[in-house]
Chains A and B, each alone.
Chain A
Amino acid sequence: MIHLTDRAKDYITENGIREIYLVLKYVRGPCDSNLCRMIPTIQITSSVPDGTRVVLLDSEFVKIYAVPPVANVIRKTRKQPEIGLTRIGKRLKIDGVPYTF
């Protein structure tokens, strides 16, 4: 369901990350009209709070959870999303998730 790049795997190992959580972060749209929607982006955190979450990957190496809207779009997509590492700042990022949450 989700592919981890080698660089992401190295990063996860180096930092002893056991769990990854895909959450939605909202940024206000460019104007205050209620037509202008909040802009959602997926953020990756390594702390998994209590609450509604869906398991996307349950492996020995790492467990990946997501909030339900993100899990739903990942399940529906034909392509396999990929967790990689940003070029600058060395943070985990996710690509290939449809923009429909």
Chain B
Amino acid sequence: MAKDPICGMYVDENKASITSFRYGRTYYFCSEDCKNQFEEPEVELRRLKRVFTISWVLTVPVIILTYAFHFVHYEYLILIMASVVQFYPGLKFYKGTVDAFKNRAGNMDTLIAIGTSAAWSYSTAVVLFPALLPARGIYFDTSTAIISLILTGNLMEHLTKARASEALSKLVSLIPKTAHLIRDAEVKEVKIEEIKVNDVMLVKPGESIPTDSIIVDGFSSVDESMITGESIPVDKKAGDSVIGGTINLSGAIRIKADKVGSDTTLSEIIETVRNANSEKVPIQRLADTISSYFVPAVVSVGVLAFLYWFYLGKIGLTFSLLVFVSVLIIACPCALGIATPAALMVSSGKAAENGILVKGGQYLEIANKVNVVVLDKTGTITKGVLEVTDIVPLTGMDENEVLRYSAIAESSSEHPVAKSILREAKKRNIEILFPNEFTYIPGKGVYCKSDKEILLGNRDLVRENGISTDPFEQKMKDLEIEGKTVLVLVLNSKPTGLLALADTLKDDSARAIAEIQRMGVETWMISGDNEATARTIGRKVGISNVIANVKPNQKLEKIEELQRAGNVVAMVGDGINDAPSLAKADLGIAIGSGSDIAKETGGIVLMKDRLYDVFVSLKLGRKTIGKIKQNLMWAFFYNIVLIPIAAGALIPFFGATIYNILPFLAAFAMAFSSTTVVLNSLLLKRFKP
């Protein structure tokens, strides 16, 4: 089922008739209203500005005429102006009330419509039928000022809300509108929607990459910071992949489209951020439950307060009516409704800016509760790629010479060990000659001939060739204890050097784990590797809870065991074999460079390969939930304290005349209570990882 991107309601794609095709995908809506808001959000802002202006232009003279410049029948002029405000700028409140009644519910609009209608109707009756009512006071200033103040609050909220969702807007703006398509040796500018998989395009320096592609010609530096949060440009050459929406910085490149439309990385990120905003979070349940009873409860309080002050308090019809109006106007269920989504919108945007994709608000809430983090070793704590860590010359030959002969031996091999050695040789600018003869000995090593006879392999290979490893056996064992794979280089039957290779730690692993532990979260490392290797890595990063030799299903069992012990468990992994554990854990955190299935399963996806972002995710979860709690507390506190005040709690101290100004103050407080919630949520923008 699809989700309405505006209201969050589920819509059956098979039955939905209201749709919109944007950003390479079809969106489904529950109503035309939602579709309009999605397609033209600025229309609402323009409309709001218009009614806001009209409302104040008429409200100010109404207030002035109410208190000064009284001329003959001035009250009729006030009535006309107040009626325009009531039924033109104030029309949205009546529409909202009708919608709410259709759904057998009440909302903010209901309270405002009833409250202002009461003041307007009473004043109209005083003007038109003075004989019917004993009092002579008119309160058009109250009804008009309430509408104007609330519209001001709406406008403020609209403007601040735009800031809350600017991360999403920024992402949307990254989608290029056009591309330079190369067809029949001609370059033609076409709309991005026309690009199909395997189309070849030209991207000049300074231009955006139109869609996820592979470079077929040229090389350049690409700024991927908008997607990954990584500030350093990445060098790209033919064969490398580039992400749509990133910026080509230095050279002109020709690229072949790999993914288009909704399949691109950027579209998926936009969709994830949008979904995260529309998901419900458990913490909101209480506020939502209260919201559904709120409006009838407030109207009841208003009526009871009116009856009490009219019949028992004896403050007269006018002031009793103003008590009723004040109660309705000061109450603000709106703050309850937006407390959670406002904070979520800012934090999911903030996460996306830092290369962290949160698939739903509930994952931030779980992140806040996580007390155990289980980390896969390979590809998560380590780079998942073998690297040459030690070169030990056994004769007078220097390190680079040992590496050069090793690289010659491995130059024709596709084995991961060979790739590591060749990478190291390239890093050190060592020139490699291809050997004359090459023999691969499965599971043991290689033999080849160049200017010397070269044998490179493990202990067994060396011994099988009649060469003793005793003179350097201890050194080999020392390296092996550290979890390294050791190869012996033999030149012309003489042991010349040792090469140790290991899967190395990611640069930030130790720091990330230390920070996670500092949060009071227990860390576990889980690995399919042998005990010695796993423990060595565990020691280096500061994890003492190490489980080695585990199969994927055993990973799952360990997660379940930790959950049974009452822990809230986050699993961090990257591989296909991690997917079941990521799904089973309370929170699955997938490393972005990992398998697609891991990314699909994880509730949080780290676009960069930084383990430190696990810590950032947990911290952001805590900050977000803290902010939601603040917002909810503010919303509850506001209503609990101010409704009794509006209902007359201050009359014993200040007398009923306080109601000459209280309805204005009520409107002011209500109008800005929602804005306060949005502004408080915006403070999350200051979050620094």
B-binding residues in A (CB < 8 A): 24, 26-40, 51-52, 67-69, 78, 98-101
Contact = CB atoms under 8 A, between A and B. Distances in A.
B463 interface: no
Given A34-B7, A37-B337, A38-B9, A28 B105 contact: yes
Interface stretch (B201-209, B290-298, B369-377, B480-488): B290-298
A39 B288 contact: yes
B144 to A, nearest CB: 20
Given A29-B107, A29-B291, A36 B10 contact: no
Interface in B94-121: 96, 99-100, 103, 105, 107-109
B97 to A, nearest CB: 10
B450 interface: no
Interface residues of B, number: 50
A99 B109 contact: no
B10 A67 contact: yes
A68 B108 CA distance: 31
B538 interface: no
8 smallest beta-carbon distances between A and B, as pairs: A30-B333, A31-B334, A36-B337, A31-B108, A30-B337, A100-B362, A30-B291, A99-B285
Given A32-B96, A36-B341, A37-B337, A27 B280 contact: no
Contacts of B333: 30-31
Contact of B280 (A31, A34, A52, A101): A101
A26 B104 CA distance: 11
Which of A30, A31, A35, A36 gathers the greatest number of chain B CB atoms within 10 Å? A30
Given A31-B108, A38-B8, A69 B1 contact: yes
Contacts of B291: 29-30, 39
B338 interface: yes
Given A28-B105, A32-B96, 16 more contacts: A24-B10, A28-B103, A30-B336, A31-B333, A32-B92, A35-B345, A36-B334, A36-B337, A37-B7, A40-B9, A51-B15, A67-B1, A99-B280, A99-B282, A99-B284, A100-B279
Contact of B334 (A26, A33, A37, A101): A33
Contact of B103 (A27, A32, A100): A27
7 contacts: A28-B99, A28-B105, A30-B336, A31-B108, A33-B157, A37-B8, A40-B9
Given A24-B10, A69-B10, A78-B563, A35 B342 contact: yes
A29 B9 contact: no
A27 B14 contact: no
A39 B284 CA distance: 10
A100 B278 CA distance: 10
Contacts of A101: 10, 280
B12 interface: yes
B109 A32 contact: yes
A29 B9 CA distance: 11
Nearest to B164: A35
Contacts of B618: none
B64 to A, nearest CB: 31
Contact of A31 (B10, B360, B674): B674
A29 B460 CA distance: 72
A60 B325 CA distance: 58
A32 to B, nearest CB: 5
B281 interface: yes
A96 B496 CA distance: 68
Given A67-B10, A101-B280, A32 B341 contact: no
B37 interface: yes
Contacts of A40: 8-9, 280
B161 A38 contact: no
B6 interface: yes
Nearest to B681: A35
Nearest to B282: A99
Nearest to B288: A39
Given A33-B161, A35-B342, A68 B1 contact: yes
Nearest to A73: B362
B102 to A, nearest CB: 9
B7 A38 contact: yes
A30 B161 contact: no
Given A37-B280, A52-B12, A30 B107 contact: yes
A51 B337 contact: no
Contacts of A37: 7-8, 278, 280, 337, 341
Contacts of A39: 288, 291-292
